[in-house]
Amino acid sequence: MAHTCIHWFRKGLRLHDNPALMAALRDCKELYPVFILDPHLYNTQVGLNRWRFLIGALKDLDCSLRKLNSRLFVLRGKPEDVFPKLFNKWKVTRLTYEYDTEPYSLSRDKTVTTLAKEQGISVIYKISHTLYDIDRLIEENDGKPPLTYNRLRELAKKLGPPKKPIPAPTFEDMKDIKTPCPEKHEKKYRIPTLEELDLDTTSLGEELFPGGEQEALRRLDEHMKRAGWVCSFEKPQTSPNSLSPSTTVLSPYVTFGCLSARTFWWRLAEVYQGKKHSDPPVSLHGQLLWREFFYTASVGIPNFNKMEGNSACTQVDWDTNPEYLAAWREARTGYPFIDAIMTQLRQEGWMHHLARHAVACFLTRGDLWISWEEGQKVFEELLLDGDWALNAGNWQWLSASTFFHQFFRVYSPVAFGKKTDKYGDYIKKYLPCLKKFPAEYIYEPWKAPRSVQQAAGCIVGKDYPHPIVKHEQVHKKNIQRMKEAYARRSPAQSPVKKQGVKRSAPSIIDMFQKKMKKE
C-alpha cells in the first residue's frame, strides 16, 4: 500500500540523521512535512532571540525540502486541534515523528497518537534526539535514573557506542513522492515573519548564531578541522568571559535538533581516532554525555523541574524577593561581572557554561537566596539552547539542590571573573557605562574614589547601581542556611559515598574548583 504521510517536525529540525523522516518515505506516494507553532511551547514567554533562531531553522528546513521537490507546511494552534483537520483534508494514512521525552511532549504525543489511530492512521516514532534510548538506560539501572555522571557513563559503556547517524534523504529517495502544493497553499502554510507573530524586533541585535541545519553543519565542520583543539578540549579550562566564545556554541543547534547529537558524537570519534585526547567528563564527548545524564534524570525523576514533589531535590526555604530577582534578571545587581553576563544573555541568547555557573550561584545559594526555579524560568525564556531537561538539571546542580552537594563552595562575583579577564574587557563590552574605569576598580566600581568615578563618567548609585547585597557577609549566612536545609534531608536524599573506589583522575568538581574562589 502506498501511504499519504505527515512527518511532524518539532525538534529534529533537520534532514540528516532523521530516522522518523526516512520511515515516512517508505512506501509513500504523498509527503506532507508539517511544523505546528504550538501556543504551549511558542508564546510570549519565549525570548526574541529564540524566536528568531526558530524562524531561521524553519526557513532553512523549508529550503532543503524544496530542493527535494517538497516543502514545509507551517500551522498555528494546538496539535490536537490541528491534526484531525489535516488527517481528513489530506486523507493521511501514516504519521511519523521523532520521540521526545519531555512531560508535555509525552502527553501531547499520546493525545495525537490516539486521534490518529481512531482514524486508522499508523503512527511511527523514532529515537534520534538523544544518543541513547533514555528508557533503556533507566531499565539497565534497575528501573531507576542514575544520579551520578559516572554511573551514567558505566551504563552507556554497557550499551556500547551510540547508533551511527543515517544520511539525509536524497533526490533519489524522493523521486516517486509528491508533496501536493497548490498556489493557494503557498501563503496559507508559509513560515511567518517575526512581525507577523506580533513580536517587536526593535531591540534585536546582530544575529551571531543563525538558526538552521546548514549553519549547524558548517559550524561543526569548522570546529572539526581544529583537531588539536578538539582533542585537548577541557570544558573547565575554557574561559567564561572571553570576548568571543571559547567553546563550540553548537548547543542551540543540538537543542533545536538542527544538528544530530549522534552526528556530533561520531564526527568527534573520527577526530579522536588514533590521537591522544581528553576524556569525559571534560571532553566534548563528555559534554554530550552530560546532556544524556540530565535527560535520563528528567525522565526518571517525577516533577524534575520543580523543588516540591521532586524526590531527589533538597527542600530549601528560599526567599521570595521580587526586587532582587528583577535586579538579577535586568543586570542591575551592582556586581559588574554578574551584570555583564546577564546583559550578554539578553542581547545574544547565549553565555559560556561557567558564566551560567556564576550567575546561577549568585541568584540562589551564593548571594540572593532566591529559588532556582525562578532562574530556570529566565533561562528558559532567553537562552537559545534553553532545553527543558538540561535547564532544570543544571539549576538544581548549581544551587546545590541535587547532584552537587559541596554547598560551601561559592563563586565570588568579583574574584571568579578576574581569573580569566584581569582587565575587565568583557565587562567593558557588555556594560559600556563602566568602560573608562581602571582595571583595579572594574570589578568593584563602588570602591573607586569619587574622583575616579567622575573621570570615568560613571557615578555609582546614579549611573550604575550600588551592590544589592554585600557578598562577604551574605554568602556566609547562606552557607549556614544551606547547612540547615541539608540537616533536614531524609537519609535517602543524602549524597551516596562509594566505598573502595580509587579515583585516579581529578573529578569534574575538582576541575571546576580550580576556577572557583573558596571564600
Find, among 98, 381, 353, 100, the residue nearest to 250 by Cα. 353
Q: What is the rounded CA–CA span in Å between residue 452 and residue 438?
A: 8
Q: How far apart are CA 217 and CA 220, in angstroms?
A: 5
Rounded-to-integer distance, Cα 300 and Cα 294, Å: 10
Closest CA relative to residue 169, chosen from 5, 15, 6: 15
CB atoms within 10 A of CB 143: 9
Q: Residues near 280 by Cβ (< 8 Å), separated by ≥ 6?
A: 149, 153, 286, 289
Work out the number of other CB atoms within 10 angstroms of the CB of residue 369: 22
Q: Is 294 annotated as a binding residue?
A: yes
For residue 95, give the nearest of 41, 175, 32 by alpha carbon.
32
The answer to whether the annotation marks 111 as part of a ligand binding site is: no
Known binder of ligand: residue 386? yes
DSSP 366: I
Confirm whether residue 249 is marked as ligand binding. Answer: yes
- Whole-angstrom distance, CA of residue 431 vs CA of residue 335: 11
385 is in an annotated binding site: yes
| Among 449, 450, 445, 451, residue whose Cα is nearest residue 467 | 445
Residue 290 labeled ligand binder:
yes
Longest dimension (CA), the chain: 83
On whether 339 is known to bind a ligand per the annotation, the reply is: no
Residue 507 grid cell: 573529578
266 is in an annotated binding site: no
Q: Binding residue per annotation — 53?
A: no
d(CA 404, CA 290): 14
Q: In this structure, what C-alpha cell is assigned to residue 198? A: 506580533
Nearest Cα to Cα of residue 46 among 255, 229, 316, 331 = 255
> All 3 cell numbers of residue 420?
580569566
Cell numbers at residue 305, please? Answer: 523541574
Q: Which residues contact 240 (CB under 8 A, 6 or more apart)?
A: 341, 351, 352, 353, 354, 355, 357, 358, 416, 417, 420, 515
Our measurement of the distance from residue 387's CA atom to the centroid of its chain's CA atoms, rounded to an integer in Å, reads: 4
Question: Strand 94-98 to strand 73-76: parallel, antiparallel, or no bridges (unpaired)?
Answer: unpaired
- The helix-helix angle for 353-361 and 388-398 (nearest 10°) equals 50
Q: Give the 3-state secondary structure of residue 121.
A: coil
Q: Taking Cα atoms as reference points, which of 487, 296, 515, 282 lies closest to residue 403? A: 296
State yes or no: 45 annotated in a binding site: no
Q: 213 and 15 in contact (C-beta within 8 Å)?
A: yes
Closest to 102 measured CA to CA, from 134, 126, 80, 132: 134
Q: Does 289 belong to an annotated binding site?
A: yes
Q: Is 247 annotated as a binding residue?
A: yes
Annotated binding site: 247-251, 287-294, 385-387
Annotated binding site for FAD: 247-251, 287-294, 385-387
